[in-house]
């Protein structure tokens, strides 16, 4: 079992908003980590007399779900599986169900599931009674290496993803790698894309480690970035490496009915960012080749999926810039001699050239 401490607010003046003394938590990674749930709740939320377990229907149907034990009387609240569950309507339903079950501010919310459940359950906890403690059993690979750590919680609006949310840190996170056995094959891609990203964020040897240690290193890397920039005012943006194009591809895929997982889009985003960095003279051919190799070694493709081949680069660029008027200030997180950093003011011709290269690798 690997324990990764997430240290928050280092050097911060004493807080007066009720969070003092609770500035940090552990992430436990390993086979069987979820068996520590009751212990975690007892140690970190000693005031709790009852728990609300938030999950989704697919997770609730797994053979291991019945073994989840917060060590207190609890009710299970299962939402539909998938991104569509991240709604304000579900936040209201959950909070009303918490109230009906008699959940107090001194009690605890336990999110058991992937990133959707930790985002939704964490946000419901953040607003219920103006803030109720919560902890997470992360059950998807993406949840374990990324979503469950860092305290960003929230839901979507019809106008956009993650538009409503709160920074609300969990009291602990359990990443039980044994639970991944039931994870659908396609969901693995989501987590692997993020893992490929961490290779370029200070973990070059990631692939050489045993699987559990790989997850542990990703958690530690995310914890480090979050500790340095809890509210994403600076360096936390580096976690978006590969994500500018990824988000554009996801939007394009949604519009054209192409099934593209987040991690598959991130993999393409990494390859694109490498091509763009080369155009800007920041890295050479060897680094670009490394991006392709890493993506492939994580089992992901470095080529656009059939439905997105031949997409108009201008359209993708518009997605990346959100709006054509903003194309004069394109920013990307890019590799370079000092490592990965935020680069502002990228010229449209370079962004477009790198897109053409992604669509037709022979045109470099
Ligand atoms: N808060 C953050 O910092 C952060 C970071 C990255 C992503 N996210 C969010 O995370 C979400 C994506 O997370 P995700 O990929 O985990 O999606 P998800 O939570 O929808 O899980 C994917 C699917 O796998 C199923 N599942 C999960 N664990 C399982 C298991 N062990 N066995 C069988 N089935 C299982 C779920 O029911 C779901 O159908 C997005 O909404 C994204 O915005 C948040
Ligand atoms: Zn991501």
Q: What is the pLDDT of residues 43-68, one digit of tens each?
A: 999 999 999 999 999 999 999 999 99
- Pick the closest to residue 274 from 218, 191, 332 (CA basis): 332
The answer to whether residue 270 scores a pLDDT higher than 80 is: yes
Tokens of 306: 């059939």
Q: Using pLDDT thresholds of 50, 70 and 90, give the confidence band for residue 231.
A: confident
Contacts of 291 (CB under 8 A, 6+ apart): 200, 270, 271, 273, 274, 302, 335
Find out whether 137 and 124 touch, Cβ atoms under 8 Å.
no
pLDDT of 308-352, one tens digit each? 887 888 888 888 887 545 555 789 999 999 999 999 999 999 999
pLDDT of 319: 84
pLDDT of 307: 87
pTM beyond 0.95, yes or no: no
- Distance between CA atoms of residues 209 and 227, nearest Å: 24
DSSP 50: -
- Distance between CA atoms of residues 198 and 177, nearest Å: 18
User: Which residues contact ligand 1 via a Cβ below 6 A?
Assistant: 56, 58-59, 62, 81-83, 86, 113-117, 119, 139-140, 142-143, 146-147, 150, 152, 162, 179-180, 182-184, 187, 190
Q: Which CATH architecture fits 241-363?
A: Up-down Bundle (1.20)
Domain residue limits, the chain: 2-228, 241-363
pLDDT of 16: 46
- Pick the closest to residue 266 from 289, 236, 294 (CA basis): 294
Q: Tell me what the mean pLDDT of segment 189-214 comes to.
A: 96
Strand partners, 28: 3, 174
Phi/psi of residue 49, nearest 5 degrees: -115, -10
> E strands of the chain, at which residues?
2-7, 24-30, 51-56, 74-79, 108-113, 134-138, 152-157, 160-167, 173-176, 330-334, 341-346
Strand partners, 26: 5
Contacts of 319 (CB under 8 A, 6+ apart): 247, 248, 251, 252
- The domain 2-228 having CATH identifier 1.10.3210.10: the answer here is no
| Interval between CA 254 and ligand 1 midpoint (Å) | 18
Instruction: Cite the active site residues.
Output: 130, 152, 194, 222, 232, 236, 240, 243, 247, 262
- Distance between CA atoms of residues 153 and 273, nearest Å: 27
The answer to whether residue 269 scores a pLDDT higher than 80 is: yes
User: What atom of ligand 1 comes closest to residue 162's alpha carbon?
Assistant: 43
Mean pLDDT of the chain: 92
Q: Using pLDDT thresholds of 50, 70 and 90, give the confidence band for residue 361.
A: confident
DSSP 106: T
pLDDT of 22: 45
Share of the chain above pLDDT 90, in %: 78
pLDDT of 17: 47
The answer to whether residue 179 scores a pLDDT higher than 90 is: yes
Q: Tell me what the mean pLDDT of segment 209-224 comes to.
A: 96
- Distance between CA atoms of residues 275 and 361, nearest Å: 10
H-run or E-run covering 172: none
The answer to whether residue 10 scores a pLDDT higher than 90 is: no
pLDDT of 274: 98
Which residue's CA is minimally distant from atom 12 of ligand 1?
115
The answer to whether residue 19 scores a pLDDT higher than 70 is: no
pLDDT of 278-315, one tens digit each? 999 999 999 999 999 999 999 999 999 988 887 888 88
Q: Using pLDDT thresholds of 50, 70 and 90, give the confidence band for residue 12.
A: low
> E strands of 168-282, at which residues?
173-176
pLDDT of 364: 60
Strand partners, 267: none
Helix 115-127 with 88-100: angle, nearest 10 deg: 60
């Amino acid at each position: 079992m690997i324990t990764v401490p997430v240290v928050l607010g280092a050097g911060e003046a004493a807080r007066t908003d009720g969070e003092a003394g609770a500035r940090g938590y552990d992430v436990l990674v390993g086979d069987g980590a979820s068996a520590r749930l009751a212990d975690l709740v007892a140690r970190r939320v000693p005031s709790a007399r009852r728990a609300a377990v938030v999950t989704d229907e697919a997770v609730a149907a797994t053979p291991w779900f019945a073994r989840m034990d917060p060590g207190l009387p609890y009710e299970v609240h299962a939402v539909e599986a998938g991104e569509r569950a991240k709604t304000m309507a579900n936040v209201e339903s959950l909070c009303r169900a918490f109230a009906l079950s008699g959940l107090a501010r001194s009690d605890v919310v336990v999110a058991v599931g992937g990133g959707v459940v930790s985002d939704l359950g964490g946000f419901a906890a953040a607003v219920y009674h103006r803030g109720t403690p919560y902890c997470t059993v992360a059950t998807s690979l993406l949840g374990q290496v990324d979503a469950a750590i860092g305290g960003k919680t929230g839901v979507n609006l019809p106008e956009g993803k993650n538009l409503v949310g709160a920074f609300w840190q969990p009291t602990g996170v359990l990443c039980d790698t044994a639970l991944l056995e039931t994870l659908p094959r396609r969901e693995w891609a989501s987590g692997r894309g993020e893992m490929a990203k961490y290779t370029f964020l200070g973990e070059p040897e990631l692939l050489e480690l045993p699987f559990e240690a790989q997850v542990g290193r990703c958690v530690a890397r995310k914890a480090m970035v979050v500790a340095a920039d809890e509210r994403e005012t600076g360096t936390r943006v580096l976690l978006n490496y590969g994500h500018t194009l990824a988000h554009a591809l996801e939007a394009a895929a949604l519009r054209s009915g192409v099934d593209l997982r987040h991690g598959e889009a991130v993999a393409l985003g990494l390859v694109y960012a490498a091509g763009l960095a080369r155009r800007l003279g920041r890295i050479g051919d060897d680094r670009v080749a490394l991006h392709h190799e890493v993506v492939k070694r994580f089992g992901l493709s470095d080529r656009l999926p059939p439905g997105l081949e031949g997409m108009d680069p201008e359209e993708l660029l518009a997605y990346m810039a959100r709006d054509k008027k903003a194309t004069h200030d394109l920013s990307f997180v890019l590799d370079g001699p000092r490592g990965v950093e935020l680069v502002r003011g990228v010229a449209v011709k370079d962004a477009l050239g790198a897109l053409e290269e992604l669509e037709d690798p022979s045109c470099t």
